[in-house]
Chains A and B, each alone.
Chain A
Amino acid sequence: MANIIMILYYFISLFFVLITIKNLIEEKKSRDRIILYLLTVIPFILRLLRFK
């Protein structure tokens, strides 16, 4: 069961990476939001790369 949850978590991480990058690309006005998207995506990338 724990393994299934762990695998699902990687898919959830991937989903958040993709949706955040999509928002980042589509952002047309706010520089603050760009920084916010970049900050938000860090832990998900670290987990996907199995760094931490």
Chain B
Amino acid sequence: MKNKLFRFKIVWGIIFAIFILAGGYPLYRHRHYSVQLICGPGVTEIKKLSDYFPPLKDTMADTTIFVLQGKEPGGKALILANTHSNEPEGMLAVTIMIEKAVVEKGTLYLIPFFNHSGGVNTRPGEGYPLYFSIPTPWGKKTFRMGNRDASPLDQWPDPDVYIHYPEKQMLSYLDIRNTNRTWPGRKNGLPMEQVTYAAMELLRKEKVDLAIDLHGAETMFPVTNCIVAPEKSMRIATLASLTVKSMEGFENHLESSPSKFRGLSHREIGDYSDTLPFLLECPIPFLDQPTGPKTEKLLLDGKDSFLLSLAKKKKLFVPYDQSGWPIEKRVGQHLSVILEIIKQYSRKMPARAIVIKDVPRYPELVKNGVGYYFSDPTKVDPKKIVNQ
């Protein structure tokens, strides 16, 4: 009997060890997987967010900033992607800009993985894929699929109630790890408050004119397919929205930044600096709750039969048909709206103009796809590759 029980313990101990390794190792690999970003001809300097706030150095919260400085002085714009790492359209748009954009006048600061800890976090409980791959002419380029919030391995414990600094508004406990609820940040706060504090330091020290935060939202959520802007940015947002609608033919409406909902980039950047903030939302069917399995295919093509039946009942806030909402449309929308905001600002403030060339717009993305704009990392100078 004693021997039998001992054998039982050994056998089941081994089975459970296999469970732990089979379930845990993919998560470990995901956390340590690096995405290869290729610096194009426009990248003039690579910085870290910790350059603006040294306590972030050597932590998972630190992230890379790609600086594209033009030959002529002009205005400055900061573009943030992966504030929510389960909304990767912005990150893909910024990755294309890093590879392709050339700035002739002014300066661009590009942060492809703003909440870096969120980018190495996962959501396996909801069946999210750990990675997604974009087809390119030379093969597939694989990216991490992240989560909305920073990893609890990097910031824990969460408070019972998150009290926003400095406005003291009470928010959900989870939002203390959400870098679109921790603006304008806190110098001696928790890591995600320090991330937004560092970004505010960048905006203040570099005297940045425009900050554009790239997001995506459910098709069943009204704040999607839009530009969210506070009062001070609304004029430029309106001109950009009208122009892309009339010239490029995609829907893009305006949402006013609520003054009583604190912690969001489009509110706090405007209130706590001289920068004009904008937040761009594109529709991501993958994020909707009533869909089929959360597969890589759904993330990329946005096709779902449940959403289609809801669209027929007019329950969605965006146009939706059998063609879904493919990633090239979403990335193209972000790129066109970014370029249009910068163009409208440059018209209004010629002395602070920013002139960018070689960035594809919506029609080109729809025609060529996203992968068309990614270079083969095996065929570029290794010094141009940044692992992030």
A residues contacting B by CB (< 8 A) are 2, 5-6, 9, 24-25, 27-29, 31, 34-35, 38-39, 41-42, 45-46, 49-52
Residue of B nearest to A30 (CB): B5
Main secondary structure of the interface of A (DSSP, over half): helix
- B60 → A minimal CB distance (Å): 11
CA A29 to CA B16, docked complex, whole Å: 20
Given contacts A38-B16, A51-B28, contact A2 B9 (CB under 8 A): no
Q: Point out the residue from A27, A31, A42 that lies within 8 Å of B20, measured CB to CB.
A: A42
A50 to B8, CA, bound (A): 28
Contact status A52-B27, CB under 8 Å: yes
Looking at B79-87, B152-160, B218-226, B231-239, the stretch in contact with chain A turns out to be B152-160
Whether A35 contacts B153 by the Cβ 8 Å rule is no
Q: Given A5-B157, A42-B20, A46-B20, are A34 and B9 neighbors across the interface (CB < 8 Å)?
A: yes
Chain B residues 18-69 with CB under 8 Å of chain A are 19-20, 23-25, 27-28
Identify the 10 closest CB pairs spanning chains A and B, nearest first: A51-B24, A38-B16, A51-B27, A51-B28, A52-B27, A6-B156, A50-B153, A46-B24, A5-B157, A34-B9
The residues of B that contact A31 with a CB separation of less than 8 Å are: 5, 8
State whether A34 touches B12 (Cβ < 8 A): yes
Interface residue count for B (Cβ, 8 Å)? 20
Chain A residues with CB under 8 A of B13: 24, 38
Which residues in A have their C-beta under 8 angstroms from that of B157?
2, 5-6, 9
With a CB–CB cut-off of 8 A, which chain A residues contact B16?
Answer: 38-39, 41-42
Given contacts A42-B16, A51-B20, 7 further A-B pairs with CB under 8 A are A2-B157, A25-B9, A39-B16, A42-B19, A42-B20, A49-B20, A50-B153
Complex alpha-carbon distance, A25 and B6, angstroms: 9
Does B2 sit within 8 A of A, measured CB to CB? yes
> Which residues of chain B have a CB within 8 Å of any CB of chain A?
2, 5, 8-9, 12-13, 16, 19-20, 23-25, 27-28, 122, 153, 155-157, 190
Q: What is the distance, in angstroms, from B33's C-beta to the closest C-beta of chain A?
A: 14
Cβ B5 vs Cβ A45 within 8 A:
no
A2 with B156: in contact, given A34-B12, A38-B12 (CB under 8 Å)? yes
Question: How far, in angstroms, from A11 to B352 measured CA to CA in the complex?
Answer: 54
Q: Which residues of A contact B9 (CB under 8 A)?
A: 24-25, 27, 34
- Whole-angstrom CA separation of A49 from B122 in the bound complex: 16
Bound state CA distance, A24 and B28, in angstroms?
27
- Residues of A within 8 Å of B122, CB to CB, are 52
A52 to B19 Cα, complex, angstroms: 14
Q: How far is the CA of A36 from the CA of B250 in the complex (A)?
A: 56
Q: Which residue of A lies closest to B26 (CB)?
A: A51
Instruction: List, in ascending order, chain A residues with CB within 8 A of B156's CB.
Output: 2, 5-6, 9
Q: Which residue, of A6, A29, A52, has the highest number of chain B Cβ atoms within 10 A?
A: A52
